[in-house]
Amino acid sequence: MIPSVLPTYNRAPLQFVKGEGAWLIEADGRRFLDLGAGIAVNALGHAHPALVEALTSQAQNLWHVSNLYQIPQQQALADKLVETTFADTVFFTNSGTESCELAVKMARKYFYDKGQPDRVEIITFEGSFHGRSSAGIAAAGSEKMTKGFGPLLPGFVHLPWNDHDAVAAAISDKTAAILIEPVQGEGGIRPLPDTCMKGLRDLCDEHGILLILDEVQCGVGRTGKLFAHEWAGITPDIMMVAKGIGGGFPLGAVLATEDAASGMTAGTHGSTYGGNPLGCAVGCAVMDAVADPEFLAEVNRKAGLLRQKLEGLVASHPEVFEEVRGSGLMLGLKCKAVNIDVVNAGYDNEVVTVPAADNVIRLLPPLNLTDEDIAEALQRLEKAAKQVAAA
């Protein structure tokens, strides 16, 4: 008999009932160190006082009104994002997938309105993940995500990861945009080198096409800059955001330049819940914390510390691990052992990590984890590695 919850997930036999900072408490009382943060969502850990305050005080006043009306919390969050990024304008969604939908629509509408309605193609890359909607799976294009769900949304051109010549050759008079994650998350924590990111920006400028960055997983302080593309010193035309921006409350956004957004006039897009007062009140509190240069400096310091310790772990367990990769607190351990076995051994030792493609385990801890948390994480990962090696 089918379970009452549609069985689309392979769930671990863990039931967390409470969270405190970087810690999760299981129903049986065990305390797990959370290096997954709900897949890069709980940017400020669990039950952060500023987020609890923002949510509860908003909840006592007003939950929902609809985008038929002015929403001051939405305006405040849009202003913060415009002030701190390349963007001139922001649309709020509830998830990364919805951000992908709008990014694709925005790029196509841009060229339609410019009198180039045939420019509909979007170049995407092997190993990418942009969500599970029809546009998201068509954008990623992998058989794993698309099989059985045809007919697929047309207009996506899939290229190998990190192959500049292939991109240059694929751009045609049908190309509207290049869509890429600056650091692939689901694909196995694969950072795009800065030179390649600059190369993509140059190609877009040369051909007058749009650069869309998917910073759903790598954005909001995760790599040690507010947004990952800042490391390459470039700016996109359109950027997808979600996960960390809500700190655990469902919230996403599409950020764009005035030019890229020019086709999105009244009536061209909308969302019932997108930008609701609860989500935006929390988003403002997240931005107040994460956009602070001192906070980001701490993310970078802790990332350096964690990475150094992880290099030691990999060196002392060459039979389990191959390498450390990633950027900031978006780290991956490429495994020699089966990655799921390492994740499961982590559960046995009360540390949470997240599997990814390419036999990688992801470490995406809360950005405000402490030095003590890092020391504890290493002890637990060490025990997990020994367990896997002994098996």
Ligand X SMILES: Cc1ncc(COP(=O)(O)O)c(C=O)c1O
Residues that bind ligand X (CB under 6 A): 39, 95-97, 100, 129-131, 181, 185-186, 214, 216-217, 242
Closest distance to ligand X from the beta carbon of 210 (Å): 17
Nearer to ligand X, 128 or 175 (CB): 128
Closest CB to ligand X among 183 and 333? Answer: 183
Residue 75 marked ligand-binding: no
- Is 321 annotated among the ligand-binding residues? no
Of residues 115, 234, 114, the one with CA closest to residue 178: 234
Does 190 count as an annotated binding residue? no
Least distance CB 85 / ligand X (angstroms): 17
CB of 274 to ligand X, least distance (A): 13
The answer to whether 129 is a known ligand-binding residue is: yes
| 286 close to 136: Cβ distance less than 8 angstroms | no
Query: 315: Cβ–Cβ under 8 A, 6 or more apart, which residues?
Result: none
- How many C-beta neighbours within 10 Å does residue 142 have? 16
**Of residues 39 and 62, the one with the C-beta less far from ligand X:** 39
Q: Is 216 known as a binding-site position?
A: yes
Q: Which CB sits closer to ligand X, 24 or 216?
A: 216
Between CA 250 and CA 245 the distance in angstroms is 9
Q: Give me the count of residues in the chain.
A: 391
Q: How far is the CB of 95 from ligand X (least distance, A)?
A: 4
CB of 93 to ligand X, least distance (A): 9
Minimum separation from the CB atom of position 145 to ligand X (A): 11
Nearer to ligand X, 101 or 373 (CB): 101
C-beta of residue 291 within 8 angstroms of C-beta of residue 118: no
Coil, helix or strand at residue 212 = strand
Which residue's C-beta sits nearest to ligand X?
96
Count how many Cα atoms sit within 13 Å of the Cα of residue 34 in the half-sphere of its side chain.
Answer: 28
Q: Is 215 annotated as a binding residue?
A: yes
> How many helices and strands (H and E) does the chain possess?
12, 17
**CA–CA separation, 289 and 44 (whole Å):** 8
Pairing of strands 238-241, 252-256: antiparallel
201 is in an annotated binding site: no
Minimum distance from residue 66 beta carbon to ligand X (Å): 22
Query: Considering beta carbons, is residue 19 or 127 the nearer one to ligand X?
Result: 127
Phi, psi for residue 176 in degrees, rounded to 5: -100, -35
Q: Which is nearer to ligand X, 97 or 223 (CB)?
A: 97
Q: What are the two backbone dihedrals, phi and then psi, of residue 356, each rounded to the nearest 5 degrees?
A: -140, 175
**Can you tell me the distance from the alpha carbon of 152 to that of 121, in angstroms, rounded to the nearest whole number?**
14
- Name the phi and psi angles at 277, rounded to 5: -55, -40
| Residue 96 marked ligand-binding | yes
**Residues making up the binding site for pyridoxal 5'-phosphate:** 96-97, 129, 214-217, 272
**Residues making up the binding site:** 96-97, 129, 132, 214-217, 271-272
**Residues making up the binding site for N(2)-acetyl-L-ornithine:** 132, 271
